[in-house]
Chains A and B, each alone.
Chain A
Amino acid sequence: MIPGHPGPLLSALLDGELEPSVAARVRAHVGACGACAAELRAVSEARSAVRSLPRLDPPAGLFRVRRARVRAAVAAVAASVAAAAAVVVLAEPHPAPVRPKVAEFVDAHVATASLTGDPVSELVRAGIPTGTDR
């Protein structure tokens, strides 16, 4: 805005938003200033041009699609939260795989069986490899 000229007040004048005393001073200035009179005409013409544009309706289903997307997103988040909660609350950690060491178990068993049973007949059988995991 050039100092001393109303500038943005011209648009407010057209919209009727100025106090009566201020509006009177702006009108007085426009009546005496050719540049401001020309700017006031240009602003007035631009407003008329914008207001003369046709009204357009949004495409059919625009809001329905958006609502569906929002609902789907909410449902996905809720399902994720529920699944995570179920995993934490209900599931147990997957146990590590175990391969029973059968030969060692047989040795351990023979040792105890020879303590509580007949040592010779128990121990001679352990003199033969089990053939499982040696």
Chain B
Amino acid sequence: MTVRPGLAGAVAALVATALVMPAAAGENPVERSRDAAGVLDFAGRVRVFWVDPVGRHETVVRVRAADGVVVVEGLRRIVAAGDDRLVSADSAGWHLVWHADPVPSDAPDMWRKYRVSYSPGPVVAGRLTRLVHVMSGGVVRERLLVDIGSGLILARDQYDARGALRRSVAFEELRLVPGRAVVPQPAADRSPRPLDGGVRGRAYRAPSVLAGGYVRLGAYRRGPAVQVVYSDGVYGLSLFEQRGRLGEVPGLARPVRIGDGRGWHLTWPGGDVVTWQAGDAVYTLVGEAPPEEVLAAARSVPPPSRAPLLERLRRACRGLLDLRA
């Protein structure tokens, strides 16, 4: 069969246009992958790479999914069963860290901040992929390789503002095979309690929006801390707020400037953590966004205003009573 060059060129141009044009609304590759992970049975190995001030690190984690339950088996084990999340890190057994009841509200539309383009991707773990570039401000933030057949994200590379690779996860083996998953019985319930979002008398000061377009999705009480959850449509941030003064600094943390004071920044395999003191509260921001965005979001948390005289008098009297007690 012969194909006229003009027609072949037109077809190629159409295909190329379809692949690189911005995705239509509703085609969020992250959402599609989340839906796929909830219904597919699969098993595989995922290579995890990350960079921190110590150097470059790499390890392999096993993943399997069946009946809507995803199990991760690395040095720690994690189970996602519906909206429940369980973690097992030691001999103390499984901890329920999230229960279905207090689910955050939907993330904001990613198209407000990001532009996405598609192009043919390489074969990953024996499967054809589509390459998705997630860009913001003309800079590639993420490079996703999405399984054309299943919609699963098979590889995810994250870059910093200078374009340097910071983190990567990639399936190096994937088998779509039926499986069976058992949800473990938790030994301890550390799931949070949802908090009212009202301003008056609320238990936290975290604002409704952080720098970078991060919108508050919910707030939850976790023991002495309040976790306020944010999203920009692609990345999530959790701002933990607790009363007190910053005592011992987390290990491996580096000093950074936050407002008029000093904070501490550290890197974990999946993201960055910033902790600092502001007034009578200690804030800890955790996120998988690029590190400069996490820092900018931390710096956008307004410092607490000084309490009114009567409130200070009330607190002082209560403090004196506490001392006497």
**Interface residues of A, Cβ cutoff 8 Å to B:** 87-102, 104-134
Give the distance in Å from the alpha carbon of A96 to the alpha carbon of B152 in the complex.
46
- B30-88 interface (Cβ within 8 A of A): 30, 33-34, 37-38, 46, 48, 50, 59, 61, 63, 65, 70, 72-78, 80, 83, 85, 87
Give the distance in Å from the alpha carbon of A122 to the alpha carbon of B270 in the complex.
7
CB within 8 A of B98: which of A90, A92, A93, A108? A108
Write the nearest CB–CB distance from B175 to chain A, whole angstroms.
Answer: 14
Give the distance in Å from the alpha carbon of A96 to the alpha carbon of B280 in the complex.
9
Contact A124 B46 (CB under 8 A): yes
Contact with A along B1-41 (1 / 0, CB 8 A): 00000000000000000000000000000100110011000
Contact B268 A119 (CB under 8 A): no
Chain B: which residue is nearest A94 at the CB level? B245
Q: How large is the interface on B (under 10, 10 to 19, 20 to 34, 35 or more residues)?
A: 35 or more
CB within 8 A of B46: which of A90, A104, A120, A132? A120
Check B260 for interface membership: any CB of A closer than 8 A. no
Contact B322 A127 (CB under 8 A): no
Contact A119 B240 (CB under 8 A): no
Contact A133 B251 (CB under 8 A): yes
Number of A-B residue pairs with CB-CB distance less than 8 Å in the complex they form: 220
CB within 8 A of A99: which of B59, B248, B317, B318? B248
Contact B273 A113 (CB under 8 A): no
Residues of chain B within 8 A (CB-CB) of A105 are: 225, 227, 238, 240, 273, 284, 286
CB within 8 A of B30: which of A93, A96, A99, A118? A118
Residues of chain A within 8 A (CB-CB) of B169 are: 120-121, 124-125
Give the distance in Å from the alpha carbon of A98 to the alpha carbon of B90 in the complex.
24
A128 and B74 contact, Cβ closer than 8 Å, known pairs A112-B104, A120-B46: yes
Residues of chain A within 8 A (CB-CB) of B238 are: 105, 108-109, 112-113
Q: Given contact pairs A111-B85, A113-B236, A127-B74, enumerate 12 new A-B contacts (beta carbons under 8 Å).
A: A89-B309, A102-B286, A108-B222, A109-B271, A109-B286, A116-B107, A120-B65, A121-B33, A125-B167, A126-B78, A127-B61, A128-B61
Check B269 for interface membership: any CB of A closer than 8 A. yes
